[in-house]
Chains A and B, each alone.
Chain A
Amino acid sequence: NAGVMQNPRHLVRRRGQEARLRCSPMKGHSHVYWYRQLPEEGLKFMVYLQKENIIDESGMPKERFSAEFPKEGPSILRIQQVVRGDSAAYFCGTGSSYNEQFFGPGTRLTVL
């Protein structure tokens, strides 16, 4: 986990609001993966990005969800008009080409 930063650690939103989750990769890592974890379940892939490019978004819902990884700054996972079913822990994993993924501490999103 060392070096991968996520914030906020906890986020509470009311239905219909927007949630923004941030991930700063470990130094030297240019690949970012976002995963969602429901209680008592494994991590489910959402989206894979490299700097300024979305490489694979096959696991991300088509509506309300978007992700970016700008040239400068952290990667952001954005959820618009949140619903109760969006409540989960969201983790980002970062890595370099074909190497291991290291995970951040996660953001726990609660939708009231």
Chain B
Amino acid sequence: GENVEQHPSTLSVQEGDSAVIKCTYSDSASNYFPWYKQELGKGPQLIIDIRSNVGEKKDQRIAVTLNKTAKHFSLHITETQPEDSAVYFCAASSINTGTASKLTFGTGTRLQVTL
């Protein structure tokens, strides 16, 4: 089955700096890679995703890159703000037309944005 590794487990940055979180996956059939933000006591919130036919996707201060050959993908947050502090999870799945599939999650990165 799929295995997703995520690094680092904790990350502390100063407000305004950039944060980068990296994930690797093992199953070459995986073609959908979402990122979730989880605040304390809440459910995971989808913040951005990328499919394997795209190498990069950006949404305001958040961007995700995908390297299919190396089987890794990364989340980039620019101009970090205190409200970005949370636990971030990457995930991988294999999605085909008309079907859906479970997500395999990484172990999470606790991001702390300091003033």
Contacts and interface: CB of A to CB of B under 8 A. Distances in A.
Asked whether A and B interact, the reply is yes
Interface of A: 1, 4, 6, 31, 33, 35, 40-45, 48, 56, 59, 91, 93, 95-106
B104 interface: yes
Contacts of A91: 43-44
A67 to B, nearest CB: 13
A97 B100 contact: yes
A98 B95 contact: yes
Contacts of B97: 97-98
Number of contact residues on B: which range applies? 20 to 34
Interface stretch (B55-63, B72-80, B105-113): B105-113
A97 B108 contact: no
Interface string B88-115: 0100000111111111111110000000
A106 B100 contact: no
A104 B45 CA distance: 9
B100 to A, nearest CB: 5
Interface centre among A59, A100, A102 (most CB of B within 10 A): A100
B29 interface: no
A99 B42 CA distance: 22
Contacts of A102: 46
A6 B43 CA distance: 10
Contact of B98 (A6, A97, A105): A97
B43 A100 contact: no
B52 to A, nearest CB: 13
